[in-house]
Each structure stands twice: as C-alpha cells, then as structure tokens.
Amino acid sequence: MRAFLKSSERCFELKPRTATTIGRHEGADIILQSAGVADSHAALEFTAWDNSFVLQDFNSPHGTFVNGCRVQNAAVKVSPGDILRFGAGGASFQLVVDGAAQVRMGSPGSGAPSMAAHMPHPPLRKPPRSAWARSVATAISLDTFSRSSAMRPVQGGRPRAERSRGAQSPLALLATLLGMQPGVPGARWAVSAHCRLMMAPVICLQGEKLLRLEKEIGRLVGLETEAKQKDAVIRDLQDEIAAMAKTLAQAAARNEVELTQKLLTFDQELGAKTEEIRALREQINSLQKGSSQVFSHSLYERDLEIGRLRKESEKLKREHALAAGLVASLRREIVGKEQKMQQLRQDVEKAKKESREKDNQLAVVSAKCSRIKEEMKHELEEREALACRNRIGELERDLEGLRGEAQKYCAEQESIRNQLAEKAKV
C-alpha cells in the first residue's frame, strides 16, 4: 500500500515500512522550508497491526495541526483524507492512500450524498485523538454490529429499516435516530465517543504508560540529534586544525627563511662596516694632524651608524624570538584542541552506548505494551458488549419519544423553509 502527503503544489511519498521524518534539516525524509517548521518537526508512521497511520510531533515550537487542531509533543492517529499542516504558516497536506476511499465533506448541490442534506446544521469535524484512545474507539465499529440489517432512504428524508423492528440492529437504530447512514464516519464517531467515555477509567492507566513511552522516545530522538551535532562539530574542528596546521607550517617556514636572510644580510653589512671603520682609523692615524676635526666628525658618524645597525640586529633577534614563541603557542593550542576532540569522541561513544541500551529497553517495553493492548482489547470488548446491551434497552424505551421529536423537528424545518421561500419571493 502506497501513501502520499499531497498539497496543491507538491506530493511526497511516505516510507512503507519505517517512519517518515518531516522537518527543515537536510537529514529529514521530507524537507519543508516553510515558516514555523523545526529542524526535526514530526514523523508519520504506518502501523500494520491496526492498518492505520500515527503522527508523532517532536515538541516543535509551533506544533502540528490535524484538521485544524494543534498537536504538540504527542502522538495521534490520522486517517486517509485528514488535513495536516506543519507549523503555523506552512502549507496544508492531505493524507492520500492508494486504493483507500477518501471521505470528504461535499457541498449540498454537488449531487453526492452528504450529511448536510439530512441535518439543519453542518457536521462538526472530529478532533484528533491520541493513538490509544482512537484505537479503542475504532475497535467497536458500527459496521460490526449493523451487518444484519440494511438501511435505505425514503422520500421523507429519514432512513427507514427494510425489516421489522425486532430484526433491526440496535446500533443501526441509534444511527437512524441520529439521522446517519450506517458506515458513515459521523455515526461511527458518535457511538465510539459514547463507548470511549464509558471505558475511560479502565484505559487511563495504560494511557499514562504509553505517554511515558512517547516521552522516552522523544528523549532518545533528542540524544540521537545531539550525537549528530557533536559529530558535525568534530568534523569542523578537524578541518579547522588541519587548516591551522598548514597555515602555521607555511608561516613558520616563511618567517624563518626571511629572518635568516635578514640576519645574514645585516651580518655581512656589519662586517663590511667594521672593515671600513678599520680602514678609516688607519687613515686617521696616518694623517695624524691637520684634518683631525674632520676625521673625528666622520668617525662619530660611523660610530652612530654602527650603533644603529646593532640596534636593528637586536630588534630582528627579538622578532625572531617572538615568532618562535608564537609557533610554540600555536602548537600548544593544537594539542589542546586534539585533547578536546578526543573528549568529544568519548562523549559520543558514551551517548551511542546509552542509546543502544535505551533501544533494548524500548523493545522490551514495546513487547509488554503489545501484550497489554491485546489483553485490554479482549476485556474492553466484553465490557463494551455488556454496556451496549444495557444501553440498547434504554434506547429502545426512548425510541418512540425521539421519533415524535424528530417528526416535530421536521415539521418545524418545513415551516421554516416555507417562510424562507415566501420571503425570497417577496
């Protein structure tokens, strides 16, 4: 069976055996860039044991809307034809299944049978329920009890049984009183809602257990997301360290070559100046007198030049020492980041180990929940059958009174229609 999420512009196919994740992140199965959609927004999964779909919201900021009702950090059962919207401003998607009959609310003039033709007001859209409540409600369907009687419409606009009153199904009589055809989702919802209210104290404890299980699943999904984020951080740090090491090696080699060349150049200049000074002193000693002041001034200038060259040499040596210190500091930084990466790897391994342990625990809890659901289903079927028998007796006693009220309402409706027709003519 193939299922789709279909909107006016796009259509996404759901995974048949696993959950289909929906969100803004690139790792999601269905990527939506609409406003209000979280990175990991929700998941839609097909459950084979009851042949239905379960929508799980991952505590998104704006929630998920099912037929206009908001669902946040919870799981609900959805059916083909339901309208889903992810986030406050996202597009609306309809759940479509190949080969499944789509139940839609048509207009009165479309020619298709609809509930609006038999009721004075439009039918109310049923709100989404949690997975455990809808499974209990749908377990007792109206179709199971109404197979023994067939209903057909008459000219009065109300359904009438083809067989006698004694052979007609009691639940079919209830559908008749409500003005609904057997098998219509509205009638099934009404009976299921009544049974759900009667059975609520019995299934409350199991519902709390399932809610705790849903919270645990949400926490495990958060741990998995955190582990993925840490893996991305580790990859970014590795790339950054590799780039820094490459840049550092290039800078160190370039600085070392430049400093060595400058030192050699200044040493050569210093040797040349020293030789020149020695030659000048010899000239001064040979000349002795006459131009002593001129030679003294020239010697003073040469001494100043030598002092300046020595200062520049010391400055270059200091710069070389600073560059060596910077290289050592960068190396220490690299070592620290490598230690941090090792710690992050250990944290990720620990988180993965905890996730595996929780998965094993979750499998055990899921098996227990399945067994409890089967036991609860049999018990609920027995109790609901007893409750329905008691309720049938009450409904049969109230049948005549309700029929009279129905005729009265029909007469009032016909009177109102006549008045509206007269006003329209005027």
Q: What is the pLDDT of residues 254-270, one digit of tens each?
A: 888 888 888 888 888 88
In residues, how long is the chain? Answer: 426
Residue pair 36/61 in contact by the 8 Å Cβ criterion: yes
Quick one: tokens of 334? 């690299």
Range from 285-299, 300-314, 322-336 carrying the lowest mean pLDDT: 285-299
Strand segments, DSSP code E, in 205-328 are: none
How far is it, in rounded angstroms, from Cα 178 to Cα 402?
10
**Straight-line distance from the first to the last Cα atom of the chain, in angstroms, rounded to the nearest whole number:** 57
User: What is the average pLDDT value for the chain, to the nearest integer?
Assistant: 75
Work out the average pLDDT over 39-47: 90
Percentage of residues of the chain with pLDDT beyond 70: 73
Residue pair 410/157 in contact by the 8 Å Cβ criterion: yes
Helix, strand, coil percentages in the chain from 3-state DSSP, rounded to 5: 60, 10, 25
Q: Where are the domains of the chain?
A: 2-98, 204-326
Q: What is the pLDDT of residues 126-149, one digit of tens each?
A: 344 444 334 333 433 333 333 333
The partner residues of 66 in beta bridges, in order of sequence, read: 69, 84
Quick one: tokens of 13? 């196919």
Instruction: Sort strands 92-97 and 83-86 into parallel, antiparallel or unpaired.
Output: antiparallel
The matching CATH number, chosen from 3.10.580.10, 2.60.200.20, 3.40.50.2300, 1.10.150.120, for 2-98 is 2.60.200.20
Q: Tell whether the model's pLDDT for residue 307 goes beyond 80.
A: yes
Q: Name the band, by pLDDT with cuts 50, 70 and 90, for residue 56.
A: very high
Q: Tell whether the model's pLDDT for residue 399 goes beyond 50.
A: yes
Q: What is the pLDDT of residues 280-296, one digit of tens each?
A: 888 777 776 656 666 67
**Counting Cβ atoms within 10 Å, is residue 27 exposed (0-12), middle (13-18) or buried (19+)?**
exposed
Residue pair 175/181 in contact by the 8 Å Cβ criterion: yes
Q: Of 78, 68, 83, which is closest to residue 44 (Cα–Cα)?
A: 78
Phi-psi sector, 173: left (phi>0), alpha (psi -120 to 50), beta: alpha
| Cβ-count burial 158-168 (b if 16+ within 10 Å, e if not) | ebebeeeeeeb
DSSP state of 130: B
Quick one: tokens of 230? 């840490």
Residue pair 47/53 in contact by the 8 Å Cβ criterion: yes
Q: Name the band, by pLDDT with cuts 50, 70 and 90, for residue 214.
A: confident
Most confident of 115-119, 275-279, 421-425: 275-279
Residue pair 270/316 in contact by the 8 Å Cβ criterion: no
For the chain, give the longest Cα–Cα distance: 154
Q: Tell whether the model's pLDDT for residue 59 goes beyond 80.
A: yes
Structure confidence at residue 42 (pLDDT):
93
**Counting Cβ atoms within 10 Å, is residue 68 exposed (0-12), middle (13-18) or buried (19+)?**
exposed
Which residue is it, tokens 């958060």?
Answer: 222
The letter for the amino acid at 150 is: A
Q: Tell whether the model's pLDDT for residue 166 goes beyond 80.
A: no
Which residue is it, tokens 């690299």?
Answer: 334
Residue pair 219/283 in contact by the 8 Å Cβ criterion: no
Q: Name the band, by pLDDT with cuts 50, 70 and 90, for residue 425.
A: confident
